[in-house]
Chain A
């Protein structure tokens, strides 16, 4: 039976048909036209073209503004659409500042949870539950964070910020008057929103630390925290750094919650307690009513946002890839 294919070929050969003996075999194995292959190739090609198209489309629409304002757009500190003056330096600073502050708040918390989830402080079932809760934090829509921030964080910052301004107002960072809609408000909510990113990626890095390293540390007499601080965290450090960079990228792109809380002011200010703006929030607030050159200016701002997040994300991914290679070598 196993030889049937060969036999049939041989049979064909014995019959006086006007084809070459191996013709049926050839036809059987010839590559047929596969519609699904063609269609799916087309889909893949369009996905790649799509990204080029998106960037190209935004660039084209931004071109009049790029042409007219040049680099002065990036360094200008005035944004007044009714006079056709557009400068986004305060907005870029607001974007970076609010995201950095959010990271500073979120990193200790995220790292604590990641340690909690990767080391055996708790039984596995509890860890699963905490992990699920943190993942849920990531799934809550941005606009719901904004709504919650208006009713919980703004009053909090108003009372807390008043105190800060009264007692530490001599430091430019805490200069009054304290507004509810401020950089600090946005950063507090942003910290909550990037927490899942930090936790998830740091946890992966911590779990990837080989058990032999933990065992080695304990065998040398290290306490649990000496092992964590002296061996586990240093080994996982590149992954934790990557998680922070990627969280930075996410924070800069977050739109709705920030747009609802930051106060949307393009004025340059040192104080964390005064209103500010971010690139994403600027786009969200001004696109619907924009006309003429303002649309082009906003497209220009969109390009800056894409560039910022793209560079940060690519850096994060690069660190992450190197981390994975490095820990793979340890195991």
Chain B
């Protein structure tokens, strides 16, 4: 019988060199594949910053785009258009999303309606964003015979509704049950509990969800491209076609004029900065919450 020392010693049963080699090779492969994916990301960020920054100046944000072939000017109208359309979408999606989140988490978590709402939200997340545009085209553009920033806003609201609803539900779930029990315990009604206790607690997380939605809506092009279309001029009414940063990138990207292409890069810089900031803020808020 082997003595304890012999039993636990590795002498004579070392892992074969071939197996160790295979182990090394696979680790190397895994590392290089992972690093390989950093290359395109790095390339995107560098190109967006390098090409975009060269154009950044106050006039870029306050002036109208130049005529084809000319230089100078900016994308002020597209910036305003994006703000207006994202604003419309928030106006429509926040009440609907947050109220539904309250219903499915506070009033009737187990009801059939709540189950249906969760399924619908999930399905809406999976629907391609261009379908939101097709829907807005059918319900706003066709009846009004007019491409408009209102149609763009409606399309974007469908896009961000599931984001706001689902993050809203997560935010409410994050409020400890004991808070609600304590509130009911001192005699508060359901409404008072939600309004005074649960919502203030859930508000920061809800705001994060909304910011995330803003970042997404501002960058989405597909829902806007044939609902709001594009315009060379300042926005005058929500019933008129409107420029937006995302469609500007699409339209200017393939133009043969260097200045217009640079404007596309500058607009990309604005959008990428926006989504990066909203994502970093989200990370900070949620990490604070759960650590």
Q: Using a CB-CB cutoff of 8 Å, which residues 222-268 of chain A contact chain B?
A: 223-226, 228-229, 249, 252-256, 259-260
B276 touches A136 (CB 8 A): yes
Cβ proximity bits A279-295 to B, threshold 8 Å, 1 near / 0 not: 01001100110000001
Cβ proximity bits A201-228 to B, threshold 8 Å, 1 near / 0 not: 0000000000000000000010111101
Q: Which residue from B22, B47, B99, B195 sits with its C-beta under 8 Å from A43?
A: B99
A302: B residues at CB distance < 8 A: 130-131, 134
Distance of A317 Cα from B121 Cα, bound (Å): 13
Distance of A111 Cα from B95 Cα, bound (Å): 39
Chain A interface extent, by class: 35 or more
A32: B residues at CB distance < 8 A: 189
- Whether, in the assembled complex, A148 has its beta carbon less than 8 Å from a beta carbon of chain B, the answer is yes
Distance of A143 Cα from B203 Cα, bound (Å): 32
CB distance from B96 to the nearest CB of A (A): 5
Which residue in chain B gives the minimum CB-CB distance to A130? Answer: B34
CB distance from A24 to the nearest CB of B (A): 14
Cβ proximity bits B206-249 to A, threshold 8 Å, 1 near / 0 not: 00000000011011111001100100000000000000001001
A255 touches B129 (CB 8 A): yes
Distance of A156 Cα from B133 Cα, bound (Å): 32
A109 touches B36 (CB 8 A): yes
CB distance from A239 to the nearest CB of B (A): 17
- Whether, in the assembled complex, A97 has its beta carbon less than 8 Å from a beta carbon of chain B, the answer is no
A36 touches B102 (CB 8 A): yes
Distance of A146 Cα from B17 Cα, bound (Å): 47
Which residue in chain B gives the minimum CB-CB distance to A286? Answer: B226
A41: B residues at CB distance < 8 A: 103, 107-108, 113
Q: Given contacts A141-B221, A142-B221, is CB(A224)–CB(B158) below 8 Å? A: no
A252 touches B33 (CB 8 A): no
B9: A residues at CB distance < 8 A: none
CB distance from A140 to the nearest CB of B (A): 6
- Whether, in the assembled complex, A102 has its beta carbon less than 8 Å from a beta carbon of chain B, the answer is no
CB distance from B213 to the nearest CB of A (A): 12
Distance of A112 Cα from B27 Cα, bound (Å): 10
A115 touches B30 (CB 8 A): yes
B128 touches A254 (CB 8 A): yes
- Whether, in the assembled complex, B272 has its beta carbon less than 8 Å from a beta carbon of chain A, the answer is yes
- Whether, in the assembled complex, A25 has its beta carbon less than 8 Å from a beta carbon of chain B, the answer is no
- Whether, in the assembled complex, A48 has its beta carbon less than 8 Å from a beta carbon of chain B, the answer is yes
CB distance from B164 to the nearest CB of A (A): 11
Known pairs A40-B103, A143-B253, A256-B222 / 13 extra A-B pairs, C-beta < 8 Å: A43-B103, A44-B114, A47-B121, A58-B131, A133-B38, A135-B279, A143-B219, A147-B265, A229-B26, A249-B126, A253-B130, A305-B130, A313-B126
Identify the A interface with B (CB < 8 A). 32, 34-37, 39-48, 50-51, 54, 57-58, 60-61, 108-109, 112-113, 115-116, 121, 130, 132-137, 139-148, 150-152, 192, 195, 221, 223-226, 228-229, 249, 252-256, 259-260, 280, 283-284, 287-288, 295, 298-299, 302, 305-306, 309-310, 313, 317
24 A-B pairs with CB atoms under 8 Å apart are A39-B99, A41-B107, A48-B120, A50-B158, A58-B131, A112-B34, A116-B30, A133-B41, A140-B275, A141-B219, A141-B271, A141-B275, A192-B37, A195-B37, A223-B19, A253-B128, A256-B246, A260-B253, A284-B222, A299-B138, A305-B131, A306-B128, A313-B126, A317-B122
Closest 4 pairs (CB-CB, A-B):
A253-B128, A141-B219, A43-B99, A40-B103
